[in-house]
Amino acid sequence: MGAATPESVVTTARAGAILVVTVNNPPVNALGVAVRQGLAAAMAQAQADSAVAGVLLVGAGKAFIAGADIREFGKPAMPPSLPEVCRSIEDCTKPVVAVLHGAALGGGLEVALSAHYRIALPAAKLGLPEVSLGLLPGSGGTQRAPRLMGARAATELMLSGKHLSAKAALAAGLVDQLAEGDDAQAAGLAYLNALLAQNAPVRRTRDIAIPDPAAALAELEVLKADTAKKTRGLFSPLKIIECVQAAVQLPFDEGMARERALFLECLDSPQRAGLIHAFFAEREVVKIPEAKAAAPRAFATIAIIGGGTMGAGITVSALDAGYPVTMVERDAASIARGRANVEKVYTGLVAKGRMTEEAKAAVMARYTGSTSYDDLANVDLVIEAVFEELDVKKAVFKELDRVCKPGAVLATNTSYLDIDAIAAVTSRPQDVIGLHFFSPANIMKLLEIVVPAKVGADVVATAFELAKKLKKVPVRAGVCDGFIGNRILAVYKQAADYIMEDGASPYEIDEAVRGFGFAMGPFQVTDLAGGDIGWATRKRRAATRDPKARYVEVADRICERGWFGQKTGRGFYLYPEGARLGQPDPEVLAIVDAERAKKGVTPRQFTADGIMRRYMAAMANEGANVVHEGIALRPLDVDVTFMSGYGFPRFRGGPMKWADMYGLPRLLADIEEFAKEDALFWKPSPLLVKLVQEGRNFDSLNQLA
470: domain CATH number is 3.40.50.720
Does some domain include residue 416? yes
3-state helix, strand, coil in the chain (%, to 5): 55, 10, 35
Residues 7, 84, 90, 130: which is the catalytic one?
Answer: 130
Supply the mean pLDDT for the chain. Answer: 95
Does some domain include residue 502? yes
**What separation in angstroms does the CA of 195 have from each of 23, 53, 176, 480, 674?**
22, 11, 12, 67, 72
* Domain match, 478 and 493 both: no
How far is residue 1's CA from residue 14's CA, in Å, rounded to a whole number? Answer: 7
How far is residue 431's CA from residue 533's CA, in Å, rounded to a whole number? Answer: 29
Helix (H, G, I), strand (E, B) or coil at 226: helix
- Is the bond preceding 27 in cis, omega lying within 30 degrees of 0? yes
Q: Which of 491, 630, 634, 477 is nearest to 550 (CA)?
A: 491
* Domain match, 236 and 377 both: no
Does some domain include residue 280? no
Contact 451, 328 (CB under 8 A): no
Single out the residue in 440, 466, 482 at which a domain terminates: 482
Q: What are the tens digits of pLDDT across the range 322-374?
A: 999 999 999 999 999 999 999 999 999 999 999 999 999 999 999 999 999 99
What residues are paired with 100 via a beta bridge? 120
* Domain match, 365 and 458 both: yes
How far is residue 266's CA from residue 152's CA, in Å, rounded to a whole number? Answer: 21
Helix (H, G, I), strand (E, B) or coil at 691: helix
| Helix residue spans in 441-484 (DSSP H) | 457-469
Domain harbouring 189, CATH code: 3.90.226.10
Residue 375 has a CB neighbour count (10 Å cut-off) of 15
Does some domain include residue 273? no
Does some domain include residue 551? no
* Domain match, 340 and 386 both: yes
* Domain match, 411 and 503 both: no
Q: Which of 258, 80, 96 is nearest to 188 (CA)?
A: 96
How far is residue 386's CA from residue 392's CA, in Å, rounded to a whole number? Answer: 8
Helix (H, G, I), strand (E, B) or coil at 410: strand
**Number of separate domains in the chain:** 3
* Domain match, 255 and 152 both: yes
Residue 209 has a CB neighbour count (10 Å cut-off) of 7
Single out the residue in 267, 290, 324 at which a domain terminates: 267
How far is residue 559's CA from residue 553's CA, in Å, rounded to a whole number? Answer: 10
Residue 205 has a CB neighbour count (10 Å cut-off) of 21
Side chain identity at 688, as an amino acid letter?
L
* Domain match, 392 and 471 both: yes
* Domain match, 389 and 428 both: yes
The residues, ordered by sequence, that sit 6+ positions from 296 with a Cβ below 8 Å of its Cβ are 458, 461, 462, 464, 465
Low-confidence residues of the chain: pLDDT under 50: 1-6
Helix (H) / strand (E) element for 64: namely none
How far is residue 322's CA from residue 299's CA, in Å, rounded to a whole number? Answer: 12
Helix (H, G, I), strand (E, B) or coil at 189: helix
Residue 326 has a CB neighbour count (10 Å cut-off) of 20
* Domain match, 320 and 338 both: yes
Torsion on CA atoms 329, 334, 335, 341, rounded to nearest 10? -110
Side chain identity at 704, as an amino acid letter?
L
Contact 483, 631 (CB under 8 A): yes
pLDDT of residue 205: 98
Does some domain include residue 290? no
* Domain match, 445 and 500 both: no
Q: How many whole angstroms from its chain centre is CA 438?
A: 14
Residue 110 annotated among the catalytic residues of the structure: yes
Helix (H) / strand (E) element for 200: namely none
* Domain match, 393 and 248 both: no
Enumerate helices (H) and strands (E) in the chain, giving the number of each. Answer: 29, 19
How far is residue 75's CA from residue 267's CA, in Å, rounded to a whole number? Answer: 12
Q: Which of 698, 585, 593, 587 is nearest to 639 (CA)?
A: 698
pLDDT of residue 76: 85
**What separation in angstroms does the CA of 353 have from each of 346, 348, 350, 365, 366?**
11, 9, 5, 20, 22
Does this model's pTM top 0.85?
A: yes
* Domain match, 244 and 345 both: no
Contact 19, 46 (CB under 8 A): yes
How far is residue 686's CA from residue 675's CA, in Å, rounded to a whole number? Answer: 15
Helix (H, G, I), strand (E, B) or coil at 537: helix
pLDDT of residue 7: 55
Helix (H) / strand (E) element for 238: namely helix 236-249
**Backbone angles phi and psi of 421, in degrees to 5:** -70, -35
Residue 137 has a CB neighbour count (10 Å cut-off) of 27
Q: What are the tens digits of pLDDT across the range 441-490?
A: 999 999 999 999 999 999 999 999 999 999 999 999 999 988 999 999 99
**Backbone angles phi and psi of 583, in degrees to 5:** -110, 145
Does some domain include residue 568? no
Does some domain include residue 46? yes
Which domain, by its residues, includes 416?
A: 299-482
Single out the residue in 467, 482, 497 at which a domain terminates: 482
Residues 72, 90, 110, 180: which is the catalytic one?
Answer: 110
How far is residue 267's CA from residue 136's CA, in Å, rounded to a whole number? Answer: 9
Domain harbouring 653, CATH code: 1.10.1040.50
How far is residue 561's CA from residue 639's CA, in Å, rounded to a whole number? Answer: 36
**Backbone angles phi and psi of 55, in degrees to 5:** -125, 135
How far is residue 686's CA from residue 315's CA, in Å, rounded to a whole number? Answer: 41
Total length of the chain: 705
Residue 629 annotated among the catalytic residues of the structure: no
Q: How many whole angstroms from its chain centre is CA 309?
A: 23
How far is residue 592's CA from residue 504's CA, in Å, rounded to a whole number? Answer: 10
How far is residue 531's CA from residue 524's CA, in Å, rounded to a whole number? Answer: 10
